[in-house]
Amino acid sequence: MMKYNNNYAIIDSQNVNLSIQAQGWKLDFTRFRKYLSDKYGVSKAFYLSAMSLLIKRFILIYKKVVTF
């Protein structure tokens, strides 16, 4: 298996949440972060969200929601 070094993951919260909920699951963020690290060598994971969340081991980036 190929080893990955110093990879970053950028995760869009809306896509992840809708996909996981459609399967009837609930995402365990701690286990998901460990999976990214173990499987793909992710050193930093950025979680993009429009809502305030508290998730350990993720760098959270909040976007202001703009309505038109």
Instruction: Please give the pLDDT value at position 16.
Output: 85
Provide the residue ranges of all domains of the chain, joining segments of one domain with +: 7-62
pTM tops 0.85: no
pLDDT tens readout for residues 26-68: 888 888 888 988 988 888 888 776 665 555 556 555 565 555 5
Q: Which residue has the higher pLDDT, 2 or 11?
A: 11
Those residues with Cβ within 8 angstroms of residue 18's Cβ, 6 or more apart along the chain or in another chain: none
Is 62 within 8 Å of 49 (Cβ atoms)?
yes
Give pairs for 20-29: CB < 8 Å, separation 24+.
29/55, 29/56, 29/57, 29/58
Q: Which residue has the higher pLDDT, 3 or 44?
A: 44
Instruction: Please give the pLDDT value at position 24.
Output: 93
